[in-house]
Structure 1
């Protein structure tokens, strides 16, 4: 279990760096949603299911949908 936590934290750091470096906005939103889901899994491993559920619903779900909606209404430049 400890190794899985380390792998997830490393993936979380890679996602955070990738969001910052990605030029494509839609790609950044998808990576951000993956970040939110991994964060929810980490909260679940820390035995905080209420925070994990909130992170999954708001952090990965609602925020990603709002970002995609905003991107669809603007012009995408790559």
Structure 2
């Protein structure tokens, strides 16, 4: 792959990571984490690692944000 494409993908991942870190609300952070997972999937695809990209797509984009959202919902329900 082109070095420019790799640099662009790495820059997007760095921006996405900063967005996740600086998002204060946990529910919004889960959505941002999902977008970050998609960016990591793109990076792994650019680096020609389709098996890692597929794993990241399933785990990092869907399962982890879902678990965070369910945890936030359960905590909010207990505090009511």
TM-score bracket for this pair, using the shorter chain length = 0.7 to 0.9
Which runs of structure 2 are paired with 1:6-45 in the superposition (5 Å)? 6-45=7-46
Show structure 1 runs of 5+ residues with no match.
none
Q: 1:50 corresponds to which residue?
A: 51
The number of residue pairs the alignment matches comes to 75
CA contact (8 A) 2:9 2:39 kept: yes
Which runs of structure 2 are paired with 1:62-77 in the superposition (5 Å)? 62-75=63-76
User: Which is greater in Rg?
Assistant: 2
Give the CA RMSD over aligned residues. Answer: 1.4
Provide TM-score, normalisation by structure 2.
Answer: 0.81
Provide TM-score, normalisation by structure 1.
Answer: 0.83
